[in-house]
Structure 1
Amino acid sequence: MLSDIATIRSVRAIVPVLLALAVATACQPAVQSGPRSTVSASPSGPSRHVFVIVLENSSYQQALAQSYISSLADQYAVASNYHDLGEPSLPNYLAMTSGSTWGVSDNEFHALPATGIGNQLTKARVSWKAYMEGFTGDCFDSPYPYALKHNPFPYYGDECPPNIVPMTDLVTDLNGTPPWLSWITPGLCNDGHDCGVRTADRWLSRFVPQITDSTAWKKDGVLFITWDESDAGDNHVPLLVIAPKMRGEITTRLDHYSLLATISDLLRVPRLGLAKQATSLTRQLQAGRPIP
């Protein structure tokens, strides 16, 4: 763990030097071009409170075989044709939050431009928080079960936003005024990464009712639960869509860019990167049922 932290610190220290060299020599960046937003945001505010839970490493079949996850799919809606973007974890988290994988194909630290849904919301003065289990105040140096690779927000701009808080803060916020976007990342055991999908299922059974019992969710909320990647190698993972009036099976082909497109539309900020062309679920949410 200490060696990993030292590596992260070393990488962060040399990033400014590398950037200066890149400018001086007019070299092209090693990663893909980042997402750009060209559409103006709506002058009106967000339309719904959005909650997102991202779990780890389960196929669609494995996840839906769990008792509580299956009950959520039966009671609300499940996107049965939803797909990840392949292995490993980090590129999927980047896609969900910025509309690009940035050419990243590992779980190492990469300092990226200051973009992403978090920065967008901050500039638009739309409240958001990322609730991280195990987070102790430092995005780059918090102990197990926290994992930096499952927290995409510090990658954008190479800094730890003040919006990242311990998961325990969510209970207080739900009893008061939660932010418009609540991004929720369990630790390496409860997300299923180290302890399996059954543990994740039990964690959800204790955690989800705290959200669905809240005034914000009952009034205008939607909770999305998905997995970063399938451990079956088929890129097929569930997306649970939990809203008070949402029911049914969504068969439209979707992926992590679709999730970002939906979040952006609901919070009324421009879509980033490949989310611009992705299919959004806003029409289904408005109708309360799947729409072909």
Structure 2
Amino acid sequence: MKLVSLITAFSLISGLVEAGNERKFTTIQPDLTEIRKAQATAQPYEFKEEYVPGKVFDRFYNIWLENTDYDKAAGEPHMKDLRKKGITLTNYWAVTHPSQPNYLASVAGDYFGLDHDEFVRMPANVTTLANLLDAKGISWGEYQEHSPYPGFQGFNFSNQETYANDYVRKHNPLVLMDVITSDETQLSKIKNFTDFEHDLEAKKLPQWSFITPNMTNDGHDSTIKVAGTWSKNFLEPLLKNDYFTEKTLVVLTFDENETYEEPNRVLAILLGDIPEDLKGTEDDTFYDHYSLISTVQENWDLPKLGRNDCGANVFKIIADKTGYENIKVDMDGVYNNKSVEGWFSDKHIPLPPPHCCE
């Protein structure tokens, strides 16, 4: 309740800030010649780290799709089939609109007032979940479909045959963070699907990963039927792969709902090494994108970022085994469909320091 009160108070104060003072950034957008030149020399990071055992799982994989209301996603036939193989989180929420701030929130524990999909960068003094994993020696990486090469920082990359949107920066959370992109080794961990197939075949996948399909396969520029078909085709072989599935938790979810005026609840399915008696079940605990951080923190006993990861509910499949006590949330009035003012939305607002999580 204290957290809700603080957020409400901040919203009232932030409504008084001067309009038109949002921060501006210079867009990185290399041309095709520059991209091809970089492709010839870019080297993906090769994961060699020994696995650090988690309390419940040894791998945690995020797979995000796009802009679909809960009922439409849950009723799509391929999604219904996947739900039978895992746990459906029926009370899982995005944190705002539009897409990019949700991706940012999933690794930074905050969206810092971001309310658009334009080119942005977080300063290097803002840490992420990846930094917490590094501190414990836990490997991490991203796999972005049709990113042209490891560590690509451009705003987008179009299909070179159809010129349709393919890869977009706004759906790549860690490339938004200067603390990652300022280090060549860290940057080389942001790879594409060709690298995923290589790492899977070599049995050298990282312990934590964020996987984003392209703008067609994620449903953004297509339909939930396309996204559902892609999800089934991508996941079913992996779920039959013993190397991939053993002690792996996969979270398949959506960045935000489609109908902005409605409550921002989205479908999320837990897959992977799910006990047989839990397959096809539902969990109605309140979660949001910050739970993706708190669950990883609980599984590997990581420190906090000191943002909205503090107090975020942990997925029950882990909380039940570790003794973590989730909070029952009063859902009356929960919408999560408007942005709170912050560092991005007004240049006079400073970056908030990490707060105590007690």
Question: Is this a same-fold pair by TM over 0.5?
Answer: yes
| 1:151-170 to 2 correspondences below 5 Å | 151-157=172-178, 159=181, 161-170=187-196
Query: Which of residues 125, 132, 141 is equivalent to 2:144?
Result: 132
Find the counterpart in structure 1 of residue 59 from structure 2.
Answer: 49
**In 2, distance between residues paired with 1:189 and 1:141?**
17
Is residue 134–residue 142 contact of structure 1 (8 Å, CA) maintained in 2?
A: no
Tell me the equivalent position of 2:5: none
TM-score by length of 2: 0.65
> What does 1:96-107 correspond to in 2, within 5 Å?
96-107=106-117
With the length of structure 1 as denominator, give the TM-score of the two structures. 0.79
Q: Residue in 2 aligned with 1:240?
A: 269
- What is the correspondence of 1:13-162 to structure 2 with a 5 Å cutoff? 45-46=53-54, 47-114=57-124, 115-137=127-149, 138-140=152-154, 143-144=157-158, 145-157=166-178, 159=181, 161-162=187-188
Q: Tell me which residue corresponds to 1:260.
A: 293
Q: Where does the alignment leave 5 or more consecutive residues of structure 2 unmatched?
A: 1-24, 30-51, 159-165, 329-358
* Change over 3 Å in CA distance of 1:140–1:123 after alignment to 2: farther
Instruction: Say if 1:69 and 1:110 are closer, same or farther in 2 by CA, change over 3 A.
Output: same
Structure 1 residue 113 displacement after superposition: 3.0
SS at match of 2:293: helix
Matched residues, number: 251
Instruction: Show structure 1 runs of 5+ residues with no match.
Output: 1-5, 11-43
Matched, 1:174 2:204: no
8 A contact 1:89–1:149 mirrored in 2: yes
* Cross-structure match for 1:21: none
State the partner residue of 1:191.
Answer: 218
- Name which of structure 1's ranges 133-142 and 200-209 shifts more when overlaid on structure 2: 133-142
1:211 pairs with 2:223: no
Answer whether contact 1:265 1:271 (CA < 8 A) is retained.
no
- Aligned partners of 1:67 and 1:201 also within 8 Å: yes
Runs of 4+ in 1 over 4 A off after TM superposition: 282-287
Q: Compared with structure 1, are the counterparts of its residues 141 and 230 closer, same or farther at alpha carbon in structure 2 (3 Å cutoff)?
A: closer
Aligned to 2:227: 200
Match of 2:27 among 8, 15, 21: 8
Percent of aligned positions with the same letter in both sequences?
27
Instruction: State yes or no: 1:274 paired with 2:284.
Output: no
In the alignment, residue 255 of structure 1 is paired with which amino acid? D
Q: Which structure has the larger Rg?
A: 2
The one-letter amino acid of 2:157's match is: P
1:84-140 deviation line (CA, Å, top 9, x unaligned): 112100111111111101111111222213311123323432111100011112222
RMSD between aligned alpha carbons? 2.3
Please tell me the residue identity of whatever aligns with 2:96: G
